[in-house]
Amino acid sequence: MIRTTALVKRYGGVTAVDGVDLDVREGDRYGFLGPNGSGKTTTVRMLLGLVLATSGSIELLGQPMPRRAGRVLPEVGALVEGPAAYGHLSGRANLQLLDAAGRGGSRRTRRARIDAALEQVGLAAVGRRPVKAYSLGMRQRLGLAAALLRSPRLLVLDEPTNGLDPQGIREVRELLLQLNREGTTVFLSSHLLAEIEALCTRVGVVDRGRLVLQDELSVVQAPTGRVEVRTADGPLAARLLGARVEDVQDDRLLVRTADAAALNAELVTGGVRVAGLAPERRTLEDAVVAVTSAGSDRVAS
């Protein structure tokens, strides 16, 4: 669905994107992560033909961009750098203008598409209200509605939950999951690790313009080779296991072992009351911090 090869963007002497090779497959929920200023938004803008690449190539839906933009973009829904709208017009009127410009069709089918989009993003009750009266979160929902008007095969979203409250974030997440189940590929650029973990199946991480990680989320969060043991008998367990215990925090021990079942049996036999035992997995935060540069603009969790 999205493939870039050696993608580069320079602004004078500054290289904003440096040799990025994205691979987003049909059906993916792909999370695109990186610190502020890492090149995420510039990359997204190049994908959509809003900014021309200095060098390298881009394919969307198997077609070269921006050369085939006229063929490709009608099947792509996008929300980039916040929604744009005419404040004096209602949300519905803004969507009518967008739909007429991008797709057309009869007035009846246009009304049905707009009604469906407003309902999907939770704006059906305020669709006739002027956009200047909308909150930031409502404007964000309107931008998402605009991206959904064409029933896209591919959604490209840049920080789609910006300005939303926790309930709104959950609603958008559930909507994206439903769209993905129905066949839409989702490419989500964000700095919110928790949202990427809750939604995405694959991730890519950029740092200072370079793609430093790209893999299945399940691989990124692979077991560390340690087992987390929860017990009220921490001192006893630590004495019993000796050097295999690598960390102790109150009722939690991290134990280096390849056989969790054997560890459990050993603890129980030794008189340790085991309240919980599970393989430790690497967090997405750990993975991102490990491959990105130190600095003040770390990815937020």
User: What are the pLDDT digits (tens) for 140-172?
Assistant: 889 889 899 888 999 999 888 887 888 888 888
pLDDT value of residue 301: 35
Specify burial of residue 50 (Cβ count, 10 A radius: 0-12, 13-18, 19+).
Answer: middle
Identify the residue whose tokens are 């493939």.
Answer: 3
Radius of gyration of the chain (CA): 24
Q: Tell me the pLDDT tens digit for each residue of 165-190.
A: 888 888 889 999 999 999 999 999 98
Domains belonging to the chain, first-starting first, are 2-220 (3.40.50.300), 224-281 (3.30.70.100)
Rounded Cα–Cα distance for residues 215 and 223 (Å): 15
pLDDT value of residue 85: 82
Which token pair is 236?
Answer: 């006893």
Cis previous bond, 66, omega within 30: yes
User: Residue 22's closest CA among 213, 182, 235?
Assistant: 213
298 has a pLDDT exceeding 70 = no
Helix runs in the chain, H state only = 40-47, 69-72, 91-102, 107-120, 136-148, 166-181, 193-199, 217-220, 234-241, 260-269, 284-291
Helix (H, G, I), strand (E, B) or coil at 252: strand
243 has a pLDDT exceeding 90 = yes
Q: Tell me the pLDDT tens digit for each residue of 7-53.
A: 999 999 999 999 999 999 999 999 999 888 899 999 999 999 999 99
Q: Which amino acid type is present at position 129?
A: R
pLDDT value of residue 84: 75
User: Residue 41's closest CA among 71, 76, 95, 79?
Assistant: 79
| pTM of the entire predicted model | 0.82
Q: Tell me the pLDDT tens digit for each residue of 258-267.
A: 999 999 999 9
Which token pair is 265?
Answer: 């049996």
Q: Tell me the pLDDT tens digit for each residue of 222-234.
A: 888 999 999 999 9
Q: Tell me the pLDDT tens digit for each residue of 5-18.
A: 999 999 999 999 99
